[in-house]
Chain A
């Protein structure tokens, strides 16, 4: 009896914490609730994948060109095995005829993040019968990513995985939102400030990337640089097999990002992406790397990106229009491989970049306290770059440390305080800069 009371208290506290801390109005729950709301409608195309896919494809734009009915089942940080689950559900429920799997480098190189698995599973459970919900969650706990790890037990406390910020303000706001009677969708708009829902599972932000912060925005800086994981490639192959077995067309799309965030991988990018292309095509699916599309098919503008990895709304509209053209070509039986540069001819891609995508800097301080700022630009192989280094003091006053020259490094005088602004432009340009970045100096 005593043990039962102890267990009951633990379960009650768990439920209470879930109520208070578990994110109400997560984008996963928006997707699943909207998907269920569309149960009676015809859906013939679904988009699956992580946030890069979620923010790259506007179903309405695709449908307007192709005459299809598309629904986006992509959710933030969606692991590939959850993409499989989503695709399978759509095939079972709607007999879709096309699945678009949007991926980026990290979809295949990073370990699955248990938090997104939990968020996805919990959102899926929401509208299900108790037995189906329990079965779904049990499936998650015994899945290879969880079973042998602490997550398999800790996920019994889902608030630990899919929680709001652990500060009183966020917790109170979450509870208030739950109690307000707002729908998941309304709550999502409140919780994800700046996010707007446009229908068919698709929502996006309007923010525009600040290229001067590229150093922090590169995926390598955020996630590190690893090779693709065999398990991830196997999961892509599983999705492809699932589609093939059901007579569904699968298009694997590497979603667009600013050129600097492709160049930052160096030779790893063509080397690893070629593996993905090989796996995809071996399984009979179509592979498109949107970053390598010829300019006449798709040429993103600087303001199309919300950050280093995601398109914003305007960017997604432009990309979806271009991508609809790719799908039209595919439907017409054309080899879409001819629309883009190939990984075997990587130099051609590098030569096709005619602008400076970003400039980043590094500060080296030697034992004696001398500081040097070194700049690096991400640009095409044929672009000639020149740099200027300015010292910016606390009041915003600037002093030229080194005027325009091809030298990419500059010594900072001892005792300098503030920041160094590194400007970069193409040789022959008269502009103040094409890209710049700011280097903090030690206090």
Chain B
């Protein structure tokens, strides 16, 4: 079921009608409609056979915090009954160990399922014990990484006492299975999403027109940009040979840059819009990432919820761990800046290694993750040198020109990273990088594209993608300058608005037609 389809529209319409109808009768049970819709959606879109994995994940992450809460209560009782301070401390330490054991067991269970389903076969294949990365026939549940990470955040936050754990399993299951997030995120936090799902909503407060506008904007990115480019990118990078011209590689990578953004952020726009129709606002996942001024900034704007998840559950705990503190202390002997940043640099390397592995166990993903980690770590370490250089060269770092330069530099750095992400063989990634620098050969550009099967019509039809990209660029630029673009459009004269919507719909219709049978679902649906 595509998000832009009659089946999804009907599914959404029936769910919304049921939700607001039940809300009129009894808003306290409104959430049950959301749960029913979410489970139905999971069975319709994913494979119903994999529902058990999500139920298992939900059961584990529901039970563990309740066990932790019970342990807290027992600990309190025992401490109250303890005769002296030493005994109280001993009781606390004993229960802390047990709590940690429960936490570790829950994390192992969640990540164990994820690791087995997502990585085991690839691992066996990489060491030559499986015929192919999918030869075991393991069914990868829809959105497994997203609901696993979300559920784990719930357990860790509950462990840290951030909220009272949810006692009702079905309510917790709704948090895990909320259907708009299950395809490709975002990774929501319980404190933000949980209450919204469970409280009653009335149709009156829903910003329907804004939601529809956002849905259309997402569909434009998905169909007019991502789907239009996927075929050409495939043709280019399925035919990497030692003499592939650098000009073709750069073209392919730039297309991938647009495709990746169009696919992921477009899909997120569509699901955010669908969720907001129920009065439920999910976490934002993109904030115009190609306007970032550094790679670190890029990761604060691209897949934001994964970035914050990594920051809260990997980076901070690791960076302030005892060994890292010790490393920082030792490094500070070589300089205050090094002592302060070195633990963060190591933590960044770990974070991006995990981000790489999260995308897949293949070497090219690991290389992509490490590339990002190394660049960010080096940028941190060398920050004083950059500052001194700027001062020596009298660079006005607050100027618009400097900002534009930083944006362009970051775009370049990000795109070098895409070499490792998109070219599925690590050796080919290096080869393409080398040819970009040493064999650009622009004169072979069209001949090579023709040889790999990119037709003239494919290139000609990219004019539609170019129009869509220009539109997205203008909207993004305005949003970057704090302009409420949606608000402006909604204030337009209704005839002008009708004509504008017709133009956007026309673009979606044409590109959808041109990409029939070529593009599948969302890239991140398999994560």
Contacts and interface: CB of A to CB of B under 8 A. Distances in A.
Contacts of A113: 516-517
B47 interface: no
A200 B292 CA distance: 65
A392 B419 CA distance: 41
B435 to A, nearest CB: 11
B510 A9 contact: no
Contacts, number: 85
Given A6-B501, A13-B498, A161-B513, A153 B506 contact: no
A32 B506 CA distance: 28
A157 B506 contact: yes
Interface string A73-112: 0000000000000000000000000000000000000010
A367 B242 contact: yes
A214 B402 CA distance: 57
Contact of A147 (B7, B502, B516): B7
Interface string B414-456: 0000000000000000000000000000011001000000000
Contact of A9 (B5, B447, B502): B502
B223 interface: yes
Contacts of A142: 6
Interface string A355-393: 000000000000100000000000000000000000000
A275 to B, nearest CB: 22
A213 interface: no
Nearest to B513: A160
A115 B498 contact: no
A170 interface: no
Contacts of B517: 111, 113
Given A114-B516, A367-B243, A443-B447, A147 B5 contact: yes
Contact of B223 (A150, A152, A443): A150
A115 B495 contact: no
A115 B516 contact: yes
A154 B220 CA distance: 12
Categorize the interface residue count of chain A.
20 to 34
Please report whether the interface of chain A is mostly helix, strand, loop or mixed according to DSSP.
helix
B9 to A, nearest CB: 7
B494 interface: yes
Contacts of B223: 150
A13 B495 contact: no
A151 B516 contact: yes
A248 interface: no
A160 B506 contact: yes
A5 interface: yes
Given A147-B7, A149-B5, A13 B516 contact: no
Contacts of A148: 1-2, 5, 7-8
Nearest to B8: A148
A6 B493 CA distance: 9
Contacts of B494: 2, 5-6, 9
B502 A10 contact: yes
A317 B436 CA distance: 57
B499 interface: yes
A237 interface: no
A176 B7 CA distance: 38
A157 B517 CA distance: 18
Nearest to A157: B509
A149 B506 contact: no
Contact of A442 (B8, B447, B506): B447
A124 to B, nearest CB: 20
Nearest to B495: A9
Interface string B501-517: 11001101110110011
A160 B510 contact: yes
B6 A152 contact: yes
A13 B499 contact: yes
A158 to B, nearest CB: 9
A367 B431 CA distance: 14
B33 to A, nearest CB: 22
Q: Which of A6, A141, A146, A442 has the most CB of B within 10 A?
A: A6
B70 interface: no
A17 interface: yes
B4 interface: yes
B497 interface: yes
Contacts of A8: 498
A14 interface: yes
Contacts of A17: 506
Interface in A1-51: 2, 5-10, 13-14, 17
A106 to B, nearest CB: 13
Interface in B1-43: 1-2, 4-9
B502 A13 contact: yes
B38 to A, nearest CB: 18
Interface string A241-276: 000000000000000000000000000000000000
Contact of B4 (A6, A13, A111, A153): A153
Given A9-B494, A147-B5, A148-B5, A154 B506 contact: no
Contacts of B513: 114-115, 151, 154, 160-161
Interface in A325-370: 367
Nearest to A160: B509
A166 B514 CA distance: 12
Nearest to B44: A148
Q: Which of A151, A166, A367 has the most CB of B within 10 A?
A: A151
Nearest to B516: A114
Given A142-B6, A153-B4, A10 B509 contact: no
A342 B242 CA distance: 45
Contact of A152 (B7, B447, B508): B7
Nearest to A221: B453
A328 B510 CA distance: 48
Interface string B209-228: 00000000000000100000
A384 B499 CA distance: 66
B512 A150 contact: yes
Q: Which of A14, A114, A160, A166 has the most CB of B within 10 A?
A: A160
Contacts of A146: 6
Q: Which of A8, A152, A154, A160 has the most CB of B within 10 A?
A: A154
Interface string A155-175: 001001100001000000000
A150 B5 contact: yes
A154 B7 contact: no
A154 B495 CA distance: 22
Contacts of B508: 150, 154
A10 B512 contact: no
Contacts of A151: 5, 512-513, 516
A9 B223 CA distance: 23
A113 B516 CA distance: 7
Contact of A10 (B1, B6, B444, B498): B498
A153 B6 contact: yes
A152 B11 CA distance: 14
A150 B516 CA distance: 9
A157 B505 contact: yes
Contacts of B4: 150, 153-154
Contacts of B6: 141-142, 146-147, 152-153
Contacts of B447: 442-443
A376 B272 CA distance: 55
Contacts of B512: 150-151, 154, 160
A5 B495 CA distance: 7
- Going nearest first, the 5 A-B pairs with the smallest beta carbon separation are A9-B498, A152-B6, A160-B509, A13-B502, A5-B494
10 contacts: A10-B502, A13-B502, A111-B517, A113-B517, A141-B6, A142-B6, A157-B509, A160-B506, A160-B513, A443-B447
Interface of A: 2, 5-10, 13-14, 17, 111, 113-115, 141-142, 146-154, 157, 160-161, 166, 367, 442-443
Given A113-B516, A147-B6, 4 more contacts: A17-B506, A115-B513, A150-B512, A154-B508
Interface of B: 1-2, 4-9, 223, 242-243, 443-444, 447, 494-495, 497-499, 501-502, 505-506, 508-510, 512-513, 516-517
